[in-house]
Structure 1
Amino acid sequence: MERHAYDVVVVGAGGAGLRAAIAAHDAGARTAVVCKSLLGKAHTVMAEGGIAAAMGNRWPEDNWEVHFRDTMRGGKMLNNWRMAQLHAQEAPERVMELEDWGALFDRTEDGLISQRDFGGHKYARLAHVGDRTGLEMIRTLQQRVVQLGIDVFMECTVTDLLLAGDRADLAGDRAESRSIAGAFGYWRETGRFILFEAPSVILATGGIGKSFKVTSNSWEYTGDGHALALRAGASLINMEFVQFHPTGMVWPPSVKGLLVTESVRGDGGILKNSEGRRFMFDYIPDFFRAETADTEEEADRWYDDKKNNRRPPELLPRDEVARAINSEIKAGRGSPHGGIYLDIASRRDPEFIRKRLPSMYHQFKELADVDITAEPMEIGPTCHYVMGGVEVDPDTELSGVTGLYAVGECSGGMHGSNRLGGNSLSDLLVFGRRAGEAAASYAAGQGSRPVVDEADVKAAERSALAPFDVEGGENPYTIQQDLQQTMNDLVGIIRTASELEESLTAIEGLKKRARSMVVEGHRQYNPGWHLALDLRNMLLVSEAIARAALAREESRGGHTRDDYPKPDPDWGTKNLVVRLDDTGSGVTLTEQPLPVMPDELKSYFEE
């Protein structure tokens, strides 16, 4: 078996993983990046609209305090306040750093980095590169990683985290007595095993979207980091909050769920139902009434001069817009293919659209034969982002397991119950850097390296090869299809207790079926085997989402209960924490009070 020794191993090569690797390397740690796909193919490229940072290039009044307030209000105050504070304070510097490394941002008339409007942000604060910002960010960070000579292991999947220390108990408080010793995985091409020995591991594996039938997420998003952390003894937080992006493609079926960037609405696009009516004015919550335009004329003036700064309702936070679209579709006012219409053609001239939204223009032209400069797009909500993830220390991103860090979408706390558009990319940069520095510092402070137990290595090998030992079992693709249908139908954008209970029963049945999964052939080039291993993670994380959604008896952010349609003040004071249960195959829930915000930060919400 192939073996490597590093100080810091980063699992995932998206924006968070690459920024963490750069920071760890710059701090003097011998660093490696391990990714399921090819370098440069991370899902970060799908974050097209921009990087949220209060740079004040469009609105000098903008500052970190306003960005902090917008983030907390967007998350319905369930955010970890310290993470939201650090994010708002440090995002501008991280954007300037990207530019120093070669990122080519669009410019204002004065030559500054251009910033565009996005949902939930009071001011235009998204630094952008057309509608391909995530791609430019990955290109820049990838180039930096290569320039620094950081080792990258591409098309390599991590299946287990290996621990050193007391082996007494596999659940409960084991994290307090055990620390990271390394990571075990395999090469996707050959199936050969690989072991990384390291005192620090940073999880940057992204989200969970492939558990849902309609999603904007790429194939890698199978909840690997969430499940790896759970099995190592860490806890997850906010798992009930899944963001359904308001605008995904609905036609043709081959691209259903593919993301339509919020930039379309930020640059003037409006939402219409099948009757041709601009319906979002009917869905403005009281919480945002003072900052949202009440009439079409007022909204149009905002796009033209923005002097009154009362945003169009299309730029409400994503959870509000997604619920409004869902309501219109359920009321029978949807488009022929089950969505609604997003119209920028009647609002902006073709040259403006092609310049500001080149990716969207080509995406619809090539995949749907729709010219967005001349006709509206058919769009609908798509599973896009999970606010929940590994519970971490806000300053260092350290989980409950010594030596294990988590950043990006697989970490939790920063976004509360709903993420604002654009905050994802700045989240990756801010906390990627912090995690890399903290992981390198911890590794440097170890007098002796933790030792990998060879019995754990053999157990990881047996677990990975188990699907080959089954005879007459079930195809993993059938189980995945049933899981996606279950999550789509019973744990989707609108939830009820009976359906959530039904989903948990279904997931238990799927877990039982998964124990007898069988894969044909051998370990080389075997996608069925890859899926069989991914399914273990998907089923565990899906149970965490459904169980937390059943427990939270209110509607807040990305969690909407039809049987509890309003927010509950009591639920607004606590988070739900998920841990592995005593069997090691399921999860348990506990309630945890929110961290207490300092009085000086509370003052930003008094108005």
Structure 2
Amino acid sequence: MTRHDMTGNEMSAAEPGGLERHSYDVVVVGAGGAGLRAAIAAHDAGARTAIVCKSLLGKAHTVMAEGGIAAAMGNRWPEDNWQVHFRDTMRGGKMLNNWRMAQLHAQEAPERVLELEDWGALFDRTEDGLISQRDFGGHRYARLAHVGDRTGLEMIRTLQQRAVALGIDVFMECTVTELLKDVSGSTTGRVSGAFAYWRETGRFVVFEAPAVVLATGGIGKSFRVTSNSWEYTGDGHALALRAGASLVNMEFVQFHPTGMVWPPSVKGLLVTESVRGDGGILKNSEGKRFMFDYIPEFFKAETADNEAEADRWYEDKKNNRRPPELLPRDEVARAINSEIKAGRGSPHGGIYLDIASRRSPEFIRKRLPSMYHQFKELADVDITAEAMEIGPTCHYVMGGIEVDADTELSAIEGLYAVGECSGGMHGSNRLGGNSLSDLLVFGRRAGESAASYSHGLGGGRPAVSEADVKIAQATALAPFEMEGGAENPYAIQQDLQQTMNDLVGIIRTAPELQRSLEEIERLKERARHLVVEGHRQYNPGWHLALDLRNMLLVSECIAKAALERQESRGGHTRDDFPQADPDWGTKNLVLRIDAEGTGVDLSHQPLPVMPDELKSLFE
């Protein structure tokens, strides 16, 4: 593998003016689980492939996925199969999922897990030596293949090692700011490459490629309290929008129910669902285990309705219903929020997650080693001896780029999307563990599709427009050249995060959503007067100024779709429309860039019709 550094060492010679050029068959933007799996698949299909990543290789947000990879392997429960996994996924998403994506995901996830094992992943084992599988919220059976609570880290290690062994080129700390298109070959244009810059030097790079796979992750840094790392600024969503693709399901933002709220050193940091899967319970300030008060009708047949029955479940899972702490994430997050709003929260605005009184210190340290060491080192919280103060934290966006279920192709020829930046798979709410199997299943499909498309072009590759390259350069440099500008990118980001947190958070109302859109418009106007001082080298203020362009556009999509959907479903809760509406359950909201290229237009679109043989699984 050629590892390209920020100064351009080991690269082709730069053109006059410092513009570098590279040519590939497939360029993958993002080096998380989805991007690495897509790149491996494209390479294996014979495509000259490159990975471009905003951060360092191995630093992907996938490493924060601790609980496991959801796959109906049947190692713990022989009764489990892809049909049950499919049904759980659709029910968790409140039936708004793209049924074909959910089907492919459930069918192919076991093979993708075994493939990881073949490549060297070291999974925990059952007593019989099979890959161990643990319980997680919303899953009927224990089906999450895991490596302690470090599953995402092991996935990245394995995929990264595979990519290194294959010799795939990687451009680290290199940020894509625009997708380039050849408008001569189709009515919507064809992808011809991507424009980027080295984060250290500010030097510009052009990647010429007929196929681009977006695997850029989520949007969490638009919110004040989030489990997401700094890279998650909606880059892929915004790149696709500006290129002419559509976004779907953007109103559905998942607030993971258990993020730390205290101490400040770990605020927003995720507490894996494995804590609840291994026996942890939720209590309010009165010491009450409150989740029994929040079991929806939809799940009552499968959920324990008293504490004794729930406690027996951990010892005799086959004959007892599941504890309510393992309801889908949206249900748990709403319950926690209700307790806090009712005045039964902890001193620092959360509630308590207690595993210390339920499991021995030895059990906790063995099953949850990262949780134990992380909080002990960063916050002096000993989870084997005390309860954690937790609350909902912005974690995942179900919405993303609208793609074909089988190929991951967007509305733009040559542009593919996979992982969190793609939409449809999870409907209105994602089940825990489905994200990692999603990355593997659709990463492989996207990479193979992109390679096949590229090979099929023969000598008719789309051309990069030099005029578009100049526009991309001018747009990137604009913050340095603003005369009379007085706006600071950090101040705008802080105001955006506060707006999204307060007005587009876990509980929403029409007046607040309307105010959020008005505020976003004001922030967009302020962003036109951004000024960045200094030079392009080592300039984080400039990097944020470029990220803000994406964050503001994607935040507008979330708020506009949330205002339009007048019901509560999954990760979208409207206080003024508290019930799910059957009519809204038949359609998606789709967003596209408007004619001016500065805002978004919204339209309604019917859901794909599920075949009768799959419908029968819900009868």
Structures share fold, TM-score greater than 0.5? yes
2:198 aligned partner: 187
* 1:484 corresponding residue in structure 2: 497
Residues 248-272 of structure 1, C-alpha deviations (whole Å, 9 max, x = no match) = 0111223211100000000000000
For residues 473 and 535 of structure 1, what CA distance do their matches in structure 2 show? 16
> What is the distance in 1 between the residues matched to 2:93 and 2:432?
11
Q: Which amino acid aligns with 2:353?
A: L
Divergent runs of 4+, >4 A: none
State the match for 2:525 in structure 1: 512
Match of 2:143 in 1: 125
User: In the alignment, what sits opposite 2:256?
Assistant: 245
Cα distance in 1 for partners of 2:219, 2:159 equals: 23
The answer as to 2:341 corresponding to 1:330 is yes
Distance 1:458 1:277 in 2: 62
2:317 match: secondary structure: coil
Tell me if 1:449 matches 2:467. no
What is the aligned partner in structure 1 of residue 413 from structure 2?
402
Which stretch shows the higher mean deviation, 259-268 or 470-479? 470-479
Distance 1:127 1:35 in 2: 27
* Alignment-mate amino acid for residue 436 of structure 2: L
Give the aligned partner of residue 431 of structure 1: 442
- Give the Å deviation of 1:310: 1.0
Is there any run of 5+ residues in structure 2 with no aligned partner, and where?
Answer: 1-18
* Structure 1 residue identity aligned to 2:497: Q
Matches within 5 A, 1:134-283: 134-166=152-184, 176-283=187-294
**1:473 CA drift (Å):** 2.1
Partner secondary structure for residue 159 of structure 1: strand
Contact 2:188 2:244 in 1 (8 A): no
- Distance of 1:461 and 1:31 partners within structure 2: 24
8 A Cα contact 2:90 2:96, kept in partner = yes
Letter in 1 for 2:226: T
**Does the alignment pair 1:292 with 2:303?**
yes
- Structure 1 letter corresponding to 2:179: L
Residue 257 of structure 2 aligns to a residue whose secondary structure is: strand
How far apart are the structure 2 equivalents of 1:595 and 1:244?
A: 26
Conservation of the 8 A alpha-carbon contact between 2:255 and 2:396: yes
Partner of 1:380: 391
Following the alignment from structure 1 to structure 2, what is the Cα–Cα distance between the partners of residues 396 and 374? 49
Match of 2:576 among 563, 566, 569: 563
- Which of residues 54, 58, 67 in structure 2 aligns to 1:36? 54
2:356 and 2:583 mapped to 1: Cα distance? 45
The aligned counterpart of 1:86 is: 104
Q: CA RMSD in A?
A: 0.8
Report if the CA contact (8 A) 1:122-1:309 is conserved: no
1:416-447 CA-to-partner distances (Å, cap 9, x unmatched) read 00000000000000000000000000000003
Structure 2 residue identity aligned to 1:398:
L
Name which of 548, 555, 567 aligns with 1:542: 555
Q: State yes or no: 1:600 paired with 2:613.
A: yes
Q: Equivalent residue of 2:109, what SS?
A: helix
- Who is 2:470 aligned against? 458
Whole-angstrom CA distance in 1 between matches of 2:375 and 2:60 = 22
Q: Report the AA paired with residue 289 of structure 2.
A: R
Answering whether residue 321 of structure 2 is matched by residue 310 of structure 1, we say yes
* Aligned counterparts of 2:21 and 2:221: Cα–Cα separation in 1: 31
Matched residue, 1:59 = 77
Report the Cα distance in structure 2 between the residues aligned to 1:282 and 1:574, rounded to whole angstroms. Answer: 31
With normalisation by structure 2, the TM-score equals 0.96
The answer on 1:475 being equivalent to 2:488 is yes
Q: Is 1:25 equivalent to 2:47 in the alignment?
A: no
For the 8 Å contact 1:544–1:578, the answer to whether it is kept is yes
Counterpart residue identity of residue 582, structure 1: A
- Provide the rounded CA distance (Å) in 1 between the counterparts of 2:208 and 2:231: 24
1:50 aligns to what? 68
Residue identity in the other structure for 1:189? E
Per-residue deviation, residues 435-488 of structure 1 (Å, max 9, x unmatched): 000000000000321110100000000000000001332110000000000000
Q: Which residue pairs with 1:172 in the alignment?
A: none
Q: Quick one: structure 1 residues 589 and 289, their matched pair in 2 at CA, closer, same or farther if it must change by over 3 Å?
A: same
Partner of residue 604, structure 2: 591
Match of 2:537 in 1: 524
Cα deviation for residue 176 of structure 1 reads: 4.0
Distance 2:39 2:597 in 1: 31
TM-score by length of 1: 0.98
- Letter in structure 2 aligned against 1:496: T
Counterpart among 413, 421, 434 of residue 424 in structure 2: 413
CA spacing shift, 1:93–1:584, aligned 2, 3 Å: same
* In structure 2, distance between residues paired with 1:548 and 1:400: 20
2:535 counterpart SS class: coil
Whether 2:34 is the aligned partner of 1:16: answer: yes
Please report how far the alpha carbon of residue 193 of structure 1 lies from its aligned counterpart in structure 2 after TM superposition. Answer: 0.1
1:57/1:115 contact within 8 Å kept: yes
| CA distance in 2: counterparts of 1:254 and 1:594, whole angstroms | 43
Partners of 2:98 and 2:535 in 1: CA distance: 46
Determine helix, strand or coil for the equivalent of 2:491: helix
CA contact (8 A) 1:252 1:367 kept: no
Match of 1:106 among 121, 124, 127: 124
Shift in Å at residue 37 of structure 1? 0.3
Deviation at 1:165? Answer: 1.8
Aligned-partner Cα distance in 2 for 1:235–1:214: 27
Alignment partners' CA distance in 1, 2:187 and 2:89: 32
Q: For residue 193 of structure 2, give the secondary structure of its aligned residue in structure 1.
A: strand
CA distance 1:309–1:231, change in 2 (3 Å): farther
1:166–1:177 Cα contact (<8 Å) kept: no
Shift in Å, 1:362: 1.0
Amino acid at match of 1:13: A
d(CA) in 1 for partners of 2:320, 2:80: 12
Letter in 1 for 2:618: F
Q: How far apart in 2 are the matches of 1:420 and 1:308?
A: 23
Q: 2:587 aligns with which of 574, 586, 591?
A: 574
Tell me which amino acid in the other structure corresponds to 1:324.
Answer: A
Q: What's 1:393 paired with? A: 404
Say whether residues 1:116 and 2:129 are aligned partners: no
Post-superposition shift, 1:166? 4.1
- Aligned-partner Cα distance in 2 for 1:567–1:384: 22
Partner of 1:301: 312
Shift of 1:9: 0.1
Q: CA deviation digits over 1:100-153, x for unaligned, max 9?
A: 000000000000000000000000000000000000000000000000000000
Runs of 5+ unmatched residues, structure 1: 168-174
2:546 maps to a residue whose letter is L
Q: Please name the residue that 2:23 is paired with.
A: 5
Choose which of 343, 354, 371 in structure 1 pairs with 2:365: 354
Q: Deviations over 1:555-588 (max 9, x none)?
A: 0000000000000000000000000011101001
Letter in 2 for 1:101: W
